[in-house]
């Protein structure tokens, strides 16, 4: 298989992605009538966190990829349009945060509605998708390819983007993530931003030396996200440090997908193929991907 290589002049690429996860996350624990008090962290992310994060991105000339559920996009269409208008990529997180394996035969219709909702708000269909909880159904990759998506960003099994062939006709890029570079894991455990930045600097240095993709995953939320004032200040310092290294390039998911599609790599088969004998006797639960929050 042809190895993945960065274009000339690039040592490593940094993929800054944001999980919007506003009320859609809170509604996994409560109802619409109780979206206040302890269930208002998602609203904080949109009201106070997003403007602060956008200013940080503008200062550092970073274009991020923001994964939004259709439900949150419909609640906050102006915020989503602002993201797109500022040059950031708006990608899909599905209809809500319900795990895809639970949708059964209705998965295709849900993915279609989610795609079309974002297209109506932004004016263009999303190129990328990230599964809630990293859980994919048995047909998810095929459905995404058939719906016109160019990449998925749910797996954590490689250091560079690579290709899937869900069908004989379609190709789908996987832009893999990394659990250690997800802010929600540290912040939900009530660790400090200083500790997270120490972890992320060490991870970045190692990935930079190895010439790998650096997939940072941020959340807007006020509880387990990066948009509180002190956390943004720490993140801004990290971006400054990263940008100071020669050969670093910040890239969106769509840009990484285009690079992978033109790389000449041989696509891998849909991983579901390897599990057909097991699936014949065991219900599929989305366990092909490690579950991030």
Q: Compute the distance between CA of residue 230 and CA of residue 81 in angstroms, rounded to an integer.
A: 26
pLDDT computed for residue 291 by the predictor: 43
Which tokens go with 235? Answer: 């993140």
Task: Look at residue 287 and tell me whether its pLDDT is greater than 70.
Answer: no
Does pLDDT of 39 surpass 90?
no
Contact criterion met (CB below 8 Å) for 151 and 127: yes
Q: Please give the DSSP secondary-structure letter assigned to residue 49.
A: I
Question: Of 92, 148, 154, which Cα lies nearest the Cα of 118?
Answer: 92
The 10s digit of each residue's pLDDT in 252-277 is 999 999 999 999 889 999 888 776 66
Distance of alpha carbon 20 from alpha carbon 41, whole angstroms = 12
pTM more than 0.75? yes
CATH topology of domain 12-279: TIM Barrel (3.20.20)
Say what the pLDDT of residue 33 is.
81
Across 212-216, average pLDDT = 98
pLDDT digit string (tens) for 54-89? Answer: 999 999 999 999 999 999 999 999 999 999 999 999
HSE value, Cβ hemisphere, 13 Å, CA-based, for 186? 20
CA–CA distance, 219 with 193 (Å, rounded to integer): 13
pLDDT value of residue 293: 45
């Amino acid at each position: 298989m042809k190895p993945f290589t960065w274009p000339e002049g690039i040592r490593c690429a940094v993929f800054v992605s944001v999980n919007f996860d506003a009320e859609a996350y809170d509604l996994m624990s409560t109802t619409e009538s109780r979206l206040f008090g302890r269930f208002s962290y998602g609203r904080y992310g949109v009201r106070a966190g997003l403007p602060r994060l956008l200013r940080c991105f503008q200062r550092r000339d970073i274009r991020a990829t923001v994964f939004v559920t259709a439900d949150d996009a419909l609640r906050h269409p102006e915020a989503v349009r602002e993201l797109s208008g500022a040059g950031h990529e708006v990608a899909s997180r599905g209809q809500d945060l319900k795990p895809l394996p639970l949708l059964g035969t209705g998965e295709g219709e849900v993915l279609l509605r989610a795609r079309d909702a974002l297209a109506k708000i932004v004016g263009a269909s999303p190129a990328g998708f990230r599964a809630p909880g990293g859980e994919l159904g048995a047909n998810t990759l095929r459905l995404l390819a058939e719906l016109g998506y160019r990449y998925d960003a749910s797996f954590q099994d490689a250091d560079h983007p690579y290709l899937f062939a869900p069908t004989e006709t379609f190709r789908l890029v996987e832009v893999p993530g990394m659990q250690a570079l997800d802010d929600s894991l540290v912040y939900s455990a009530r660790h400090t931003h200083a500790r997270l930045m120490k972890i992320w600097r060490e991870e970045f240095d190692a990935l930079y030396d190895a010439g790998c993709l650096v997939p940072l995953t941020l959340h807007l939320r006020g509880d387990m996200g990066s948009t509180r004032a002190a956390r943004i200040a720490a993140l801004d310092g990290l971006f400054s440090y990263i940008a100071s290294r020669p050969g670093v390039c910040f890239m969106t998911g769509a840009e990484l997908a285009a690079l992978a599609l033109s790389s000449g790599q041989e696509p891998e088969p849909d991983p579901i193929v390897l599990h057909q004998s097991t699936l014949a006797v065991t219900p599929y639960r989305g366990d092909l991907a490690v579950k991030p929050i």
